[in-house]
Amino acid sequence: MRPSLTTILLASLFLFPVCADAQMPHPGTTIPRDPSTADDVIIEVGLRCLADAVEPPEIRTTGENSYTLTYVHGPDGVNCPPELPPGTAFPTNIGKFPAGQHHVHFIGLVKGQSAYTDDISFTVSDIAGKSVSGAWYAPEQSGRGMFLIRTTVDLSPPEIGTHPPPEQLYVVYWATHDADGNPTWALTSGLMSDNVVSGIAINTSGTPLAPGAAELTQQPWGTLSFEYLGCDKGQLTWNANDPLITDGSVDIIKLANPDGLGVCSKSNAIEAIWVD
């Protein structure tokens, strides 16, 4: 008597467990994509074998700039769907790293057994990454705001045959008010050092808005400084030439990203446990 199709399928489940086709995780990524020394690095890995609970991952230092990240699935059972559902991933906050190249090896434990592995390498910079670009503001000073743009500029003289790598120039526009309470702009730009970009700020005055060329006059406004404090956090400091403007600083947060710019943080990132 020929076995039924149902019998063949049931037998195949014993020979090939459901999880057998789902051992490989989705390739890991970092958030932000180009982390700096001021950022908490988040490792995000999509796991094919999903558990009802995941214990806080354990991180061990295995060598210079090399680490092992272990996920331990909870005891309530494991579900291994044939396809990874969209957006299914475990983000893990593994903290701040020094500048340089780093390597992380993933190990996923299911019922005490290694079910999947993966590797990821990422580079940490000593300056803020692309995710710093966008609109920033202080909630207590809503109505003022700052636009920060990170751009690439080649500062080498054109007559030199070999060019060094281009520098990252940070442009700061601050929408603020003058001593009389009138809206004004303060503009500065410069290279970043120790997560700080600062310089002499200028603003302009001239003819009222109209079509055609504008006759504008630039004048020094004072000094303006932006310090990157980590993902979506910063501090703006100013020192105005006008003695009627009070100098000071204010903590600012990210308000909006340019379209297409990757996120810098993940609100549900799992906190990891470091083990030496």
Map out the domains of the chain as residue ranges: 18-126+265-275, 134-205+215-256
Give the residue, 186 or 152, on which the prediction is more confident: 186
Stretch (H or E) spanning 15 = helix 5-15
C-alpha closest to that of 34 among 270, 264, 267, 232:
264
pLDDT (average), residues 54-77 = 83
Q: Does residue 226 register a pLDDT over 80?
A: yes
Q: Does residue 261 register a pLDDT over 90?
A: no
| Per-residue pLDDT reduced to its tens digit, 35-65 | 999 999 998 877 666 555 677 889 999 988 9
Q: How many CB atoms lie within 10 A of CB 43?
A: 27
Sign of CA dihedral 24, 26, 27, 31: negative
Q: What is the pLDDT of residue 118?
A: 83
Mean pLDDT of the chain: 81
Return the minimum-mean-pLDDT range out of 67-71, 82-86, 186-190. Answer: 82-86
pLDDT (average), residues 127-133 = 92
Nearest 5°: the CA angle 130, 131, 134 is 105
pLDDT (average), residues 87-107 = 87
The pair of three-digit structure tokens given for residue 194, joined into one six-digit string = 């120790």
